[in-house]
Amino acid sequence: MDAWETAFLAEIDRVGRETGPRVLDSVFFGGGTPSLMPVRLVDRILTRVRETWHLSNNCEITLEANPTSIEADKFRGFRDAGVNRVSIGIQALNDPDLKKLGRLHSVSEAMTALETACNTFNRVSFDLIYARQDQSLPEWQAELNRALDLEPDHLSLYQLTIEDGTAFGDRFAKGGLRGLPSEDLSADMYFATQEICDHKGLPAYEVSNHARPGQESRHNLIYWNYGDYAGIGPGAHGRLTLDGEKYATETHLAPNSWLSSVSANRSGESVRDKISEQDQYVERLLMGLRLHGGILIQHLSSISFSPNASSINELRENGLISVDETRLKATPEGRPLLNAILRKLLED
Amino acid sequence: MTELSKIRNFSIVAHIDHGKSTLADRLIQETNTVADRDMKEQMLDSMDIERERGITIKANTVRIDYTAEDGEDYVLNLIDTPGHVDFAYEVSRSMRAVEGSLLVVDSSQGVEAQTLANVYHAMEADHEIVPILNKIDLPASDCERVAEQIEDVIGIEATGAIQVSAKTGQGIRETLEAIVNELPAPKGDADAPLKAMLVDSWYDAYLGVIVLIRIIDGKLKKGERIRMMSTNAVYPVDRIGVFRPQMESIDELGPGELGFLTASIKQVRDTRVGDTITHEKKGTTEVLDGFKPAQPVVFCGLFPVDTAEFEDLRDSIEKLALNDASFSYEMETSAALGFGFRCGFLGLLHLEVIRDRIEREYDIDLITTAPSVIYHVHMRDGTMIELHNPADMPDLTLVDHLEEPRIKATILVPDEYLGDVLKLCQDRRGIQENLTYAGSRAMVVYDLPLNEVVFDFYDRLKSVTKGYASFDYVMTEYRQDNLVKMSVLVNDEPVDALSTMVHRDRAEMRGRAMVEKLKDLIPRHMFKIPIQAAIGGKVIARETLSAMRKDVTAKCYGGDASRKRKLLDKQKKGKKKMRQFGRVDIPQEAFINALKMDD
């Protein structure tokens, strides 16, 4: 047994002891390139997971994959190990843009991988990035229509956005990014995306995620509904309720530090913070408002913080949020302004 | 006490960047006044802001011991004066304390407007002037041409001007010799009753007020009691000394000498620059001609971004005013900005320096409102009101007419930029008075309204001439003109802090420029915002800031919750740099930047 396998299994055991017996609704192999993992490791991990927790009847087990032939060759093995859904990072449907985005695959390779995936798994999702440098609205509309012609059940459509505190944000601040669409063009692209996907029967259920009804990612819904999730492996984040307190956990990001921490300290964890009621409230808002279904008011009121009433009124008057007896939601107009809505809701 | 014949007192006259401070550094170094290990660039500029901006704000002095080639030991007292037009008053009064000047001209640039302005101050003070051509190490240096220009424009003999490179040290010895041989020794009578000139004063946290003095007649010793002749206030002298350039106590100052005293004086305001100091008993009866105190000409409001910091702001302003009698302040209340201060400054640089010091030394974020000059509002009932703040403009039905201050501006500019300069002056309601040439440089004299100059004229001048023009001005008179108050409405609410006085004929143009600027300066909100400029009830310019359309994080999964929450926290703190007007957040820099014109 190699060191990595030993470490993963030890971490599953550690987290299992902490959480006690629970029912798992999903497992997600993601972040980085999990499709590069040996099939055997995926198999060992899933076996240990089944020994540790009880899996629900229709437990969703997703693996993120790069669309290269090497990885597609392993799809059958992953399926036999228990994976029942793949999410493929196609990113763009034209080769020059793939190169610009730093991807190693070509469009034709991606199409082959997608076909293999569809022949292997019942559930397949892929993702695209839009509002790319020098991309026009008609170009994106055409590309999106081509993607929908592949008849996916689930699509993740990410706008290239520049955010503070990210590598892109730093490059942007240094003037290293040109040809990015204006705010108005970005908004036009976003609304065109909604319209096209609605028309093709893949409405958005979250800011960037579209699915045929019933095909939503159950795993990601746990994040957005602020449920519990354990993070296992290098750089994995978790949210766990233990003894009535909610904790944020993180493991060592660099694989080698994670590995040595697991063997030396019997734990790969680097952060374990108790999340204050106020921060739980903020996290629930920032995650939950991404969903078209919004947030159940009962979840918000179980926390001893309440949103700023005048902010809520102002946002309602501007047609950006809606509130009824059961739910707080961003409206279709409000969803692309979610960051601004959050800032407003969190005003003192 | 030094023998009169062995004293030389002098100042250095130069345009900004012509190397005055570097030359002073070299004189200090050459004479070993400061040990090499303690030497730092621009020894005499003690404030961070002075070093950073490369300007001198306060006059500084240094006493240099020099053994000349004639074998005699001399005491040289240098007063380093500010170069900027805002601080011209410092220059003229410092000149009165010394007998000679070194006129430093950059031999690669030539005579500039501030060279002229300052050399005239020196001439008025009857100085002997020694011309120095600096920066001869530069390839563009042309000593012959510049010497000729000095003779043409200033009218002093410059053929034998000393050629110096303050950078390499060349010519420094010759400069020291010229100070000894060409500048006159001071006159004075050691046995006469004490008569000393109060040259300057400032506040020191440890020693209280420090008074810079020049002894004219008599002697002053530590422990003696002195009388300020303008106020008749009497103080016991705690300490006397000289600057090297740090303070060094000595026992006695005699005629012709420059030095300092401390005497338990609490506030700079208790000292009058130009006052005559004498002994309490058996003092002189002759009073020196005083100086006119510097009057603030530019006014603006300073408000804390965070209203909770008002008391801190009051504290910082009071402390700065302790040291700067030319800076005035009074409390102001603005409907938009809450409590703050209406402050008076000598000019825009002075304003920026004070504002920077408050933000930096006291860590208070400030909103600075539109700078304004003092208007004379003549009422129908025959009375006259001095208007410092456009927000206080009385009801128009009660007003007969308005007058505004005018200036005479002198601009020196290379021929190729003359057209742009004339256009700039014309656009700012200038009336050309004179246009002459000195070589390939034009000297234009314009009669301009101060309010058109106070704000960004100097910046614009620098930009249209790529930095080659120089500029200086003097106030002339108040003159009647068609002036109106222009107010600005953001989301239909008037923002008093953005009100300005403008000439009626230029109101539409200014209003348009301002609302366009504001449209760029105010970030998009979740609703659209009308921005209007108005005179009375009449809207003269309008823009609409569109509502924000897209601001959402594309990817936000389990690993992003913590980062995203921390980012929201950070943004919440960043928002404190904005001020809320009704439902609109206006960034602090918008108040000043809205007024800048790119014409």
Residues on chain A touching B526 (C-beta within 8 angstroms)? 315, 318, 320, 337, 340-341, 344
User: Among A174-178, B237-241, B469-473, B477-481, which stretch is predicted with the lowest mean pLDDT?
Assistant: A174-178
Find out whether B334 and B496 touch, Cβ atoms under 8 Å: yes
Cβ separation of B550 and A343 shorter than 8 Å?
no
Cβ distance of A337 and B552 shorter than 8 Å: yes
Residue from A125, A189, A209, A237 to probe the interface with B (highest B Cβ count within 10 Å): A237
Both tokens of residue A297? 């008011």
Whether B263 and B226 have beta carbons less than 8 Å apart is answered as yes
Mean pLDDT within B172-177:
95
Summarised one tens digit per residue, pLDDT across range B548-584 is 999 999 999 999 999 999 989 888 877 666 777 888 9
**Contacts for A91 with CB less than 8 Å, ≥ 6 apart:** A97, A98, A101, A103, A127, A128, A129
Q: How confident is the model at residue B36 (pLDDT cuts 50, 70, 90)?
A: low
Distances (CA, A) of B530 to A34, B536, B542: 52, 17, 7
Lowest-pLDDT choice from A47-61, B94-108, B318-332 = B318-332
What pLDDT sits at residue A302?
Answer: 62
CA distance B25 to B51: 13
Whether B518 contacts B544, CB under 8 Å? no
Question: Confidence band (pLDDT; 50, 70, 90) for A260?
Answer: very high
Residue B2: the pLDDT is 86
pLDDT tens-place string over residues A199-220: 999 999 999 999 999 999 999 9
Spatial separation of the C-alpha atoms in residues A176 and A168, rounded to whole Å: 9
Which chain A residues contact residue B524 at CB under 8 A? 183
**Distance from the B555 Cα atom to the nearest Cα atom in chain A, whole angstroms:** 7
For A127, other C-beta atoms within 10 Å of its C-beta total 20
Task: State how far residue A324 is from chain B, nearest Cα, in angstroms.
Answer: 22
Q: What is the CA radius of gyration of chain B?
A: 27
Q: Would you say A208 and B554 are in contact if contact means Cβ atoms under 8 Å apart?
A: yes
Please determine, for residue B177, whether its predicted confidence score (pLDDT) is greater than 80. Answer: yes
Given a cut of 80, whether residue B294 has pLDDT beyond it is no
**Listed residue (B229, B212, B227, B213) closest to B279, CA to CA:** B227
Tell me if A343 and B568 make a contact (CB, 8 A cut-off): yes
The verdict on whether residue B385 carries a ligand-binding annotation is no
> Does the beta-carbon distance from B526 to A183 stay under 8 Å?
no
- pLDDT of A1 strictly over 70: no
Say if residue B151 is exposed, middle or buried (CB neighbours under 10 Å; 0-12, 13-18, 19+).
Answer: middle
Task: Say if residue B407's pLDDT is above 70.
Answer: yes
Mean pLDDT of A167-179: 69
pLDDT of B443 strictly over 60: yes
Place A242 in a pLDDT band, splitting at 50, 70 and 90. Answer: very high
Average pLDDT rounded to a whole number, residues B114-126: 82
Average pLDDT estimate for A38-63 = 96
> Which H/E stretch holds residue A99?
helix A95-100
Q: What chain A residue is nearest to B560 in terms of C-alpha separation?
A: A237
The residue of A274, A285, A287 whose CB has the most chain B CBs within 10 angstroms, and thus the best one to mutate to test that interface, is A287
Q: Tell me the pTM.
A: 0.69
Over residues B154-166, the pLDDT tens digits come to 888 888 899 999 8
**Residues in chain B within 8 Å Cβ distance of A161:** 552-554
The Cα B356–Cα B372 span in angstroms is: 19
Return the percentage of chain A with pLDDT > 90, whole number.
79
CB atoms within 10 A of CB A165: 12
In single-letter form, the type of residue at position A341 comes to: I
Predicted confidence at residue B33, as pLDDT, reads 77
In the three-class reduction of DSSP (H, G, I as helix; E, B as strand; rest coil), residue A145 is classed as: helix
Chain B positions touching A218 (Cβ under 8 A) are none
Is B19 marked as a binding-site residue? yes
Minimal-distance CA residue of chain B relative to A131 = B554
Q: How far is A338 from chain B (nearest CA, A)?
A: 5
Is residue B576 marked as binding?
no
Indicate if the pLDDT at residue B454 is higher than 90. no
Q: Which pLDDT score is estimated for A71?
A: 83
- Selected for mutation to probe chain A from B491, B520, B528, B553 (highest A CB count within 10 Å) is B553
Single-letter residue type at A64: E
Question: What percentage of residues in chain B have a pLDDT greater than 70?
Answer: 92
Digit-coded pLDDT (tens) for B241-287 = 999 888 899 999 999 999 999 998 888 778 887 889 999 998 888 88
Contact residues for A170 (Cβ-Cβ < 8 A; gap 6+): none
Mean pLDDT of all residues in chain A?
92
Which position has the higher pLDDT, B404 or B598?
Answer: B404
Label residue A165 by pLDDT band (50, 70, 90): low
pLDDT of residue A232: 96
Q: Do residue A337 and residue B527 have CB atoms under 8 angstroms apart?
A: no
B439 among annotated binding-site residues? no
Contact call for residues B539 and B533 (beta carbons, < 8 A):
yes
B19-32: pLDDT as tens digits: 777 888 888 888 88
- Cβ separation A286–B548 shorter than 8 A: no
3-class SS string, B429-452: CCEEEEEEEECCEEEEEEEEEHHH
Residue B449, CA distances (Å) to B89, B289, B470, B474 in order: 20, 31, 18, 11
Non-local (6+) Cβ contacts of B265 within 8 A are B201, B208, B209, B211, B235, B271
Our CA-based measurement puts residue A118 at a distance from the nearest CA of chain B, in whole angstroms, of: 25
- pLDDT at site B95: 86
- Which pLDDT belongs to residue A240? 97
C-alpha distance from A329 to closest chain B C-alpha (Å): 15
- Residues of B with Cβ-Cβ distance to A338 under 8 angstroms: 551-553
Residues in chain B within 8 Å Cβ distance of A337? 526, 548-552
Which DSSP symbol is given to B362? S
Q: Which amino acid is at B153?
A: V
Q: For residue A185, which of A233, A150, A135, A235 has the smallest C-alpha distance?
A: A135
Output the six-digit token pair for B319. Answer: 């402390």
What is the helix, strand, coil percentage profile of chain B, to 5? 30, 35, 35
B575–A239 CB contact, under 8 Å = no
CB contacts, 8 Å: B561 with chain A:
223, 237, 239, 248, 283, 286-287
Name every chain B residue with its beta carbon within 8 A of the beta carbon of A344: 526
Of B526, B549, B563, the CB nearest to A187: B549
Mean pLDDT for all residues in chain B: 87
How high is the pLDDT of residue A84?
Answer: 97
- Orientation of helix B20-30 relative to helix B172-182, angle to 10°: 90
Q: CA of B566: which chain A residue's CA is closest? A: A279
Q: Is beta strand A85-91 parallel, antiparallel or unpaired with respect to A54-65?
A: parallel
For residue A108, what pLDDT is reported? 95
* CB–CB contacts below 8 A, A to B: 103
Residues of B with CB under 8 A from a CB of A: 524, 526-527, 546, 548-559, 561-565, 567-568, 570-572, 575, 583
Q: What is the DSSP string of B546-597?
A: PPP-----S---GGGHHHHHHHHHHHHHHGGGEEEETTEEEETTHHHHTT--
Q: Report, as an integer, the average pLDDT of B37-41.
A: 63
pLDDT score for A304? 60
CB of A83 closer than 8 Å to CB of A43: no
Please check if B136 is assigned to a binding site.
yes
The full 3-state SS of B484-498, as one line of letters, equals EEEEEEECCEECHHH
Read off the pLDDT of residues A72-111 as tens digits, 9 standing for 90 and up. 899 999 999 999 999 999 999 999 999 988 888 999 999 9
d(CA B473, CA B424): 16
Render pLDDT for A261-270 as a digit per residue (tens, 0 to 9).
Answer: 999 999 999 9
Which of A315, A336, A346 has its CB closest to that of B552?
Answer: A336
Per-residue pLDDT at B28: 87
Nearest-CB residue to B557 (from A223, A340, A343):
A223
Q: Is B134 annotated as a binding residue?
A: yes
Chain A: nearest CA to B559, how far in angstroms? 5
Under the banding of pLDDT at 50, 70 and 90, the label for residue B43 is low
**Residue B18, marked binder:** yes
Task: Please state, as a whole number, how many other Cβ atoms lie within 10 Å of the Cβ of residue B103.
Answer: 25
pLDDT band at B1 (very low <50, low <70, confident <90, very high): confident
Residue A154: what pLDDT? 98
Confidence label for B84 from pLDDT (cuts 50, 70 and 90): low
Across the interface, which of B557, B565, B572 has its CB nearest the CB of A220? B557
- pLDDT tens sequence across B311-338: 999 999 988 887 677 788 999 888 778 8
- Confidence label for B40 from pLDDT (cuts 50, 70 and 90): low
Query: Of the given ranges (A241-250, B104-113, B171-180, B482-491), which has the lowest mean pLDDT?
Result: B104-113
| Residue B404 binned pLDDT confidence (cut-offs 50, 70, 90) | very high
Give yes or no for a cis peptide into B245 (omega within 30° of 0): yes
Q: What is the pLDDT of residues B521-543, one digit of tens each?
A: 999 999 999 999 999 889 999 99
Arithmetic mean of pLDDT, B225-247 = 91
Per-residue pLDDT tens digits for B456-468? 788 788 888 877 7
Residue B199, pLDDT score = 87
* Most confident listed range (A110-114, B245-249, B496-500): A110-114
Contacts of B307 in chain A (CB under 8 A): none
pLDDT at B351: 86
Q: Shortest Cα distance from B495 to chain A (angstroms)?
A: 22
Contact B336, B268 (CB under 8 A): no
Across the interface, whether the CB atoms of B548 and A337 are under 8 A apart is answered yes
Name which of A208, A223, A282 is nearest B558 (Cβ-Cβ).
Answer: A223
**Cβ-count burial of B388 within 10 angstroms (0-12 exposed, 13-18 middle, 19+ buried)?**
buried
β partners of residue B227: B234, B278
Distance CA B346, CA B328 (A): 10
Contact of B552 with B526, CB cutoff 8 Å: no
- Residues forming a β-bridge with B338: B334
Q: Rounded to whole angstroms, how far apart are CA atoms B317 and B305?
A: 15
Query: How far is residue A110's CA from residue A112's CA, in Å, rounded to a whole number?
Result: 5
Q: Is the pLDDT of residue B290 over 80?
A: no
Interface touch A340/B571, C-beta < 8 Å: no
Q: What is the DSSP string of A228-280?
A: -B---STT-EEEEEETTEEEEEEE-SSHHHHHHHHHHHS--EEEEEEPPHHHH
